[in-house]
């Protein structure tokens, strides 16, 4: 009798162990939420373009890094972003503004990246460059204020910053953007995406309805193509500076819903 009971007991323990292991694996597979956010700025900007969003995320207990892109090539910017991702302990939500959307589309293939947030950003397809993407939509007023220099870099004119890039910011903030803008190598805008992370990672998109740099209709088209969770703000191109509370809230929502292993 004892032998039979012991066999039954062993079988019961084995079944319990299998069930427990299965439940743990399922729980891990269904886990949601990340606490690490990497922010990637765009052209004619630097990491300080996230200065209003960062404290809002940190106040909620998030670990935040704002990348300082060299803006010398797509490869250089992707490398800078990957270094920031690898500094984080655990899964990462990757957020890109404008040109930063191109960067996160490539850098987002990193194993630590659990989701992507595009803020008035470009999201090229594989084999497509930033320039090829924006040329699929009607030109915007800001395009006329892009000025090349003798070294192969492009900048925004003060008129462009004031009227097309950040027209809804206070004058003092627009002056600061003029003084701190980061010129970009024009050749970077022609570099093509090799693997689009949005094809395999969940995406969120902030459409800037009053954008005079990237066509808002193209932003809406991209959001649909990415099957992204989307909000639309009545904002200039720099939505994270014009409406930081709403952008931060959207990032927090994405961070809470993204699935991790």
Q: What is the pLDDT of residues 76-129, one digit of tens each?
A: 999 999 999 999 999 999 999 999 999 999 999 999 999 999 999 999 999 999
Structure confidence by residue, pLDDT tens digits, 233-261: 999 999 999 999 999 999 999 999 998 86
pLDDT band at 27 (very low <50, low <70, confident <90, very high): very low
Tokens 């009798």 appear where?
Answer: 1
pLDDT for residue 10 is more than 80: no
Task: Quote the pLDDT of residue 32.
Answer: 77
Task: Quote the pLDDT of residue 260.
Answer: 85
d(CA 130, CA 15): 55
When the pLDDT of each residue in the chain is averaged and rounded to a whole number, the result is: 91
**C-alpha distances in angstroms, 136 versus 31, 51, 57?**
38, 32, 34
pLDDT band at 31 (very low <50, low <70, confident <90, very high): low
- Tell me the pairing of strands 153-156 and 184-185: antiparallel
Q: Is 115 helix (H, G, I), strand (E, B) or coil?
A: strand
d(CA 93, CA 119): 13
pLDDT band at 179 (very low <50, low <70, confident <90, very high): very high
Tokens 């002056």 appear where?
Answer: 175
Task: Quote the pLDDT of residue 161.
Answer: 98
Report which DSSP code applies to 165.
I
Task: Quote the pLDDT of residue 30.
Answer: 38
Task: Quote the pLDDT of residue 29.
Answer: 34
Q: Give the rounded distance of the alpha carbon of 16 from its chain centre.
A: 43
């Amino acid at each position: 009798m004892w032998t039979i009971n012991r066999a039954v007991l062993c079988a019961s323990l084995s079944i319990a162990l299998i069930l427990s292991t299965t439940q743990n694996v399922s729980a891990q597979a269904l886990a949601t939420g990340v606490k690490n956010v990497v922010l990637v700025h765009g052209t004619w900007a630097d990491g300080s373009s996230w200065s209003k969003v960062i404290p809002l995320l940190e106040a909620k207990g998030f670990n935040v890094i704002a990348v300082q892109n060299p803006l010398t090539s797509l490869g250089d910017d992707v490398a800078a972003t990957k270094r920031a991702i690898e500094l984080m302990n655990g899964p990462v939500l990757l957020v890109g503004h404008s040109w930063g959307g191109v960067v996160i589309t490539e850098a987002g293939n990193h194993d630590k990246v659990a989701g992507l947030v595009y803020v008035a950003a470009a999201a090229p397809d594989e084999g497509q460059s930033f320039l090829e993407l924006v040329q699929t939509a009607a030109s915007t007023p800001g395009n006329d204020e892009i000025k090349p220099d003798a070294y192969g870099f492009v900048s925004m004119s003060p008129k462009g910053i004031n009227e097309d890039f950040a027209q809804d910011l206070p004058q003092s903030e627009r002056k600061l953007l003029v003084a701190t803008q980061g010129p970009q190598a024009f050749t970077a805008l022609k570099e093509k995406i090799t693997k689009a992370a949005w094809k395999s990672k969940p995406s969120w998109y902030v459409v800037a309805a009053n954008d005079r740099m990237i066509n808002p209709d193209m932003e809406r088209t991209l959001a649909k193509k990415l099957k992204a969770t989307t909000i639309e703000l009545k904002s200039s191109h720099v939505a994270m500076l014009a409406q930081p509370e709403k952008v931060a809230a959207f990032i927090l929502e994405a961070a809470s819903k993204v699935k991790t292993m």
